[in-house]
C-alpha cells in the first residue's frame, strides 16, 4: 500500500518516462524486424525483376521462333502452285506421284527452316494420296476442335497443341484455312513448331518457366516431365489458369510462390500463348530463414517482457482512471451532483478536482451542444444533397464509354452495315442524357432512355438479346430520379447475357402501381445468374459504408434511392445461378417522402 501511495504521488509525466525507459529496447527490436522485412522485400523484388526480364526474353525468343511458321503459312495460303495441286482431279496414282515429285515447296520449307518440324495440308480431294504432306482428313480429324475452328476463322491463324498423325506425338502447331477455288473444298494447313528449339530457349532459365496455349496445355517447359500436361494437373493456382498476364502471388504444389505471366498473340491470329515463370518464396529465403527464425525468437522474448512491464505500469494508472470513468458515466446519465474524491497528488488527482468543477458547468454547455447538433444536422443535409449530385454525375460517362466501345467493336466486325442506325440511337441517348439535370424526370422519359439503350445493345447482340417493357396505366407522368433503371438493365446485359454460354437472353422491365400508390419497378432476366456466394457478397457491399473509388453501378443506384427516398428504399436482389436475376425497388407516392410504407 505504501508503494501504491508513493506511485500515485509521482507525476504522470514521470510515470510515462519511467515506463518508456523500461521498454526502450523495443524500438531497437522493431528496427531489427523492419530491416529484416526490408531484406525480404528486396530479395522478392529482385527475384520478381529477374523473373519478369526472363519472361520477356523468352517471350521475344518464342515470338521469333513462331514467326517463321506463321510467315510460311501466309506464303502457302497464297501459293497458286500448291492450290493447283490440290484443286486438280487425278486419273491415276502415277499422275499423283508425278505431281508430288514436281511440287517440292513443302519439303523445302521443312529442310531450310529449323523452326519447322513438319507441314501437312488436309484436303478433301478424294483423288489424292496421303504422303504426310497432302492428306485427306479422317473423320476424327474433321471432328477435332482445332480443325473446325480453322475452317470457321476465315483465314486467321490459330495456335494449339495438336497430335501429329505420323509419330503420334503432340506439337505446338499453327493451323490455317486455305481457301480453294471450288466451293466447299477448303483445306486446313498445319505446321508443327520445332519443340526442341522451344525447349532450348527455356533450358537456361533459373526458375520454372513454361509456355502454355489458350487451353492451359504446356507446350514447352524447362522441366521435361511437365511437357504436354495441363496446368490444372500440376497443382497450379486458379489465377495461373485464368489470368492472361501480370505478376501476382499464388500457390503451386502447396508452396507460396510468385508468378509472372506474359501474353503472346502473334499477328493475324485468333488466339495466342502465355509464358509463365514461377518461383517459390522458400527457394529464395532458404539461406536467410535461419537468421530470421533466430531474430524472431529474440524479438518475441523481448516483446513479451516489454508487454508485461507495460501492463504492470498501466494497471496502476487505469485503476484510478476507472473510478473517474464511472463518475463520468453518472454525469452522462444526467446526474449533476456526482462528486469524485481520488487520493494522490499526480495529474489524475488534479484531474479529479477539476472534474468536480467541470460538472457544474455542464448545464450551461448542454444548451451549446443542442445548438451545435442543430447546425450539424443542417450540414449533413447539405452534404447529402451534394453527395446525391456526385452520385448522379458518375453514371453518364461510364455508360457512354461502354456504348461507344460496343459500336466500335461492332463496326470493326461488321463493316459499315447498320452503323447509321446505331449512331442515330446513340445520338438520341446522349441528347437525353445531357438534358438530364439533378432534378426528377417523368417515368416515361426514363423508359424512352432505357428503350434507346436496349436498341443499341440489340444492335450489338442481335438475336441473343430480347427485351420487354411494361408500364402500368397512368404511371408515365410519375416523377422519378434520372438514370436509375438503365444501370440495372446494363447489369443484366453485362452479367447475365455476356456470361451466358448459349441461347438468347430475355430482359423484362415492369412498372406497376404499389399498394401505397407508388411505383414498383422490377428488372428481371433469364441470363447466367449469380452464385449464392457472389450474391451474398454483393448484397453485403450494398449495405457497407461508402468507400471512395469502390463504387459500382448497382451501388450508385442503391445510394441514390436511399438518399432520396430514405434508408429502406434500396435495391432488392434475387438470383439463381443458371436461371437469371431479379432486381426490384419501390418509388413512394409523390416521389419522395423519407417515411416509406412496408410494401415499398
Q: What is the CATH number of the domain that holds 250?
A: 3.30.450.20
Residue whose C-alpha is closest to residue 78's, from 178, 173, 154: 178
Query: Does the residue 139 lie in any domain?
Result: no
Contacts by residues 45-49 (CB-CB < 8 Å, ≥ 24 positions apart)? 47/258, 47/279, 47/284, 48/247, 48/258, 48/260
Q: Is the pTM of this model over 0.85?
A: no
- Give CA torsion, residues 150, 156, 158, 162, to 10 deg: 40
Same domain? 440 vs 585: yes
Quick one: DSSP state of residue 494?
I
SS3 readout for 76-136: HHCCHHHHHHHHCCCCCHHHHHHHHHHCCHHHHHHHHCCCEEEEEEECCCCCCCCCCCEEC
Dihedrals phi, psi of 585, to nearest 5 degrees: -155, 165
Residue whose C-alpha is closest to residue 190's, from 219, 211, 161, 154: 161
Give the SS3 label for residue 346.
coil
Among residues 284, 300, 315, the one where a domain terminates is: 284
Biggest CA pair distance of the chain: 122
Among residues 226, 253, 284, the one where a domain terminates is: 284
Quick one: DSSP state of residue 231?
G
The residues facing 190 across adjacent strands are 120, 175
Neighbours of 426 (CB within 10 A): 20
Query: Does the residue 459 lie in any domain?
Result: yes
Same domain? 414 vs 560: yes
Give me the tens of pLDDT residue by residue for the chain, a chain 600 residues long: 676 777 677 665 566 556 656 666 667 667 777 777 777 777 777 777 877 888 888 889 989 999 999 999 999 988 888 888 888 888 888 888 898 888 888 999 999 999 999 999 998 888 888 888 898 898 888 899 999 999 888 779 999 999 888 888 899 999 999 887 665 578 899 999 998 888 888 888 888 888 999 888 999 998 888 888 888 888 777 788 888 888 888 887 777 888 889 999 999 899 999 998 887 777 666 656 666 777 777 777 776 776 677 666 666 776 777 777 777 777 666 665 666 666 666 777 777 777 776 766 766 676 677 777 776 675 455 445 545 554 554 545 556 556 656 666 666 676 665 666 676 667 667 666 655 555 788 888 889 889 888 888 888 888 888 999 999 888 888 888 888 898 899 888 888 888 887 788 899 999 999 887 788 999 999 988 888 898 888 888 887 765 544 445 788 788 888 877 777 678 899 999 888 999 999 888 764 444 334 445
Same domain? 423 vs 548: yes
Provide the pLDDT for residue 548: 43
Q: What is the CATH number of the domain that holds 576?
A: 3.30.565.10
Give the residue numbers spanning the domain of 520.
394-591
Provide the pLDDT for residue 379: 45
Provide the pLDDT for residue 236: 75
Cell 505446338 identifies what position? Answer: 172
Give 36-93 pLDDT, tens digit per residue.
777 777 777 777 787 788 888 888 998 999 999 999 999 998 888 888 888 888 888 8
- CA dihedral over 315, 318, 322, 323, signed as positive or negative: positive
Query: Does the residue 91 lie in any domain?
Result: no
Provide the pLDDT for residue 372: 72
Query: Does the residue 485 lie in any domain?
Result: yes
- Give CA torsion, residues 380, 386, 389, 391, to 10 deg: -70
Same domain? 401 vs 548: yes
How far are the Cα atoms of 130, 222, 479 from residue 123, in angstroms, in the given order?
Answer: 10, 36, 66
Provide the pLDDT for residue 246: 85
Residue whose C-alpha is closest to residue 564's, from 352, 446, 388: 388
Same domain? 275 vs 413: no
Query: Does the residue 245 lie in any domain?
Result: yes
Q: Total structural domains in the chain?
A: 2
- Give CA torsion, residues 566, 567, 572, 573, to 10 deg: 140
Among residues 284, 319, 343, the one where a domain terminates is: 284
Query: Does the residue 32 lie in any domain?
Result: no
Amino acid at each position: 500500500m505504501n508503494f501504491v501511495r508513493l506511485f500515485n504521488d509521482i507525476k504522470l509525466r514521470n510515470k510515462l518516462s519511467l515506463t518508456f525507459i523500461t521498454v526502450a529496447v523495443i524500438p531497437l527490436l522493431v528496427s531489427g524486424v523492419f530491416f529484416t522485412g526490408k531484406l525480404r522485400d528486396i530479395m522478392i523484388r529482385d527475384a520478381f525483376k529477374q523473373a519478369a526480364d526472363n519472361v520477356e526474353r523468352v517471350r521475344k525468343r518464342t515470338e521469333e521462333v513462331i514467326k517463321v511458321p506463321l510467315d510460311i503459312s501466309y506464303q502457302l495460303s497464297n501459293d497458286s502452285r500448291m492450290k493447283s495441286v490440290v484443286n486438280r482431279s487425278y486419273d491415276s496414282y502415277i499422275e499423283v506421284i508425278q505431281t508430288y515429285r514436281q511440287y517440292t515447296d513443302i519439303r523445302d520449307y521443312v529442310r531450310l527452316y529449323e523452326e519447322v518440324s513438319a507441314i501437312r495440308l488436309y484436303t478433301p480431294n478424294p483423288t489424292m494420296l496421303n504422303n504426310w504432306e497432302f492428306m485427306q482428313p479422317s473423320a476424327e480429324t474433321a471432328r477435332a476442335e482445332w480443325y473446325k475452328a480453322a475452317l470457321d476463322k476465315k483465314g486467321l491463324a490459330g495456335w494449339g497443341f495438336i497430335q501429329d498423325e505420323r509419330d503420334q506425338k503432340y506439337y505446338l502447331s499453327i493451323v490455317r484455312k486455305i481457301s480453294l477455288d471450288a466451293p466447299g473444298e477448303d483445306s486446313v494447313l498445319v505446321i508443327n513448331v520445332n519443340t526442341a528449339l522451344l525447349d532450348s530457349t527455356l533450358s537456361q532459365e533459373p526458375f520454372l518457366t513454361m509456355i502454355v496455349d489458350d487451353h492451359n496445355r504446356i507446350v514447352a517447359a524447362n522441366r521435361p516431365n511437365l511437357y504436354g500436361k495441363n496446368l490444372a494437373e500440376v497443382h497450379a493456382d486458379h489465377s495461373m489458369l485464368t489470368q492472361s498476364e501480370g505478376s501476382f502471388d499464388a500457390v503451386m504444389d502447396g508452396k507460396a510462390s510468385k508468378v509472372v505471366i506474359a501474353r503472346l498473340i502473334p499477328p493475324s491470329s485468333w488466339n495466342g500463348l502465355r509464358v509463365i515463370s514461377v518461383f517459390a518464396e522458400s527457394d529464395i529465403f532458404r539461406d536467410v530463414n535461419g537468421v530470421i527464425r533466430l531474430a524472431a525468437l529474440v524479438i518475441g522474448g523481448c516483446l513479451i517482457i516489454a508487454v508485461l512491464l507495460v501492463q504492470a505500469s498501466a494497471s496502476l494508472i487505469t485503476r484510478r482512471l476507472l473510478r473517474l470513468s464511472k463518475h463520468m458515466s453518472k454525469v452522462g446519465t444526467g446526474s449533476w451532483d456526482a462528486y469524485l474524491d481520488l487520493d494522490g497528488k499526480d495529474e489524475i488527482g488534479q484531474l479529479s478536482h477539476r472534474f468536480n468543477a467541470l460538472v457544474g458547468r455542464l448545464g450551461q454547455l448542454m444548451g451549446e451542444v443542442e445548438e451545435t447538433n442543430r447546425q450539424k444536422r443542417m450540414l449533413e443535409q447539405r452534404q447529402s444533397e451534394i453527395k446525391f449530385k456526385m452520385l448522379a454525375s458518375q453514371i453518364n460517362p461510364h455508360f457512354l464509354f461502354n456504348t461507344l466501345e460496343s459500336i466500335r467493336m461492332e463496326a470493326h466486325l461488321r463493316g459499315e452495315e447498320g452503323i447509321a442506325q446505331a449512331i442515330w440511337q446513340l445520338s438520341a441517348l446522349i441528347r437525353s442524357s445531357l438534358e438530364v439535370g439533378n432534378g426528377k424526370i417523368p417515368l416515361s422519359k426514363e423508359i424512352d432512355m432505357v428503350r434507346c439503350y436496349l436498341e443499341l445493345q440489340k444492335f450489338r447482340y442481335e438475336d441473343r438479346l430480347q427485351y420487354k417493357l411494361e408500364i402500368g396505366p397512368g404511371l408515365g407522368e410519375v416523377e422519378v430520379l434520372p438514370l436509375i433503371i438503365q444501370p440495372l438493365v446494363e447489369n443484366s446485359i453485362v452479367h447475365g447475357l455476356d456470361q451466358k454460354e448459349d441461347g438468347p437472353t430475355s430482359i423484362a422491365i415492369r412498372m406497376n402501381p404499389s399498394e401505397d400508390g407508388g411505383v414498383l419497378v422490377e428488372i428481371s432476366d433469364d441470363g447466367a445468374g449469380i452464385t449464392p456466394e457472389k450474391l451474398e457478397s454483393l448484397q453485403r457491399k450494398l449495405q457497407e459504408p461508402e468507400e471512395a473509388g469502390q463504387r459500382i453501378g448497382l451501388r450508385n443506384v442503391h445510394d441514390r434511392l436511399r438518399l432520396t427516398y430514405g434508408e429502406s428504399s434500396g435495391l432488392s436482389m434475387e438470383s439463381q445461378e443458371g436461371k437469371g436475376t431479379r432486381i426490384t425497388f419501390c418509388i413512394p407516392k409523390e416521389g419522395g417522402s423519407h417515411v416509406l410504407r412496408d410494401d415499398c
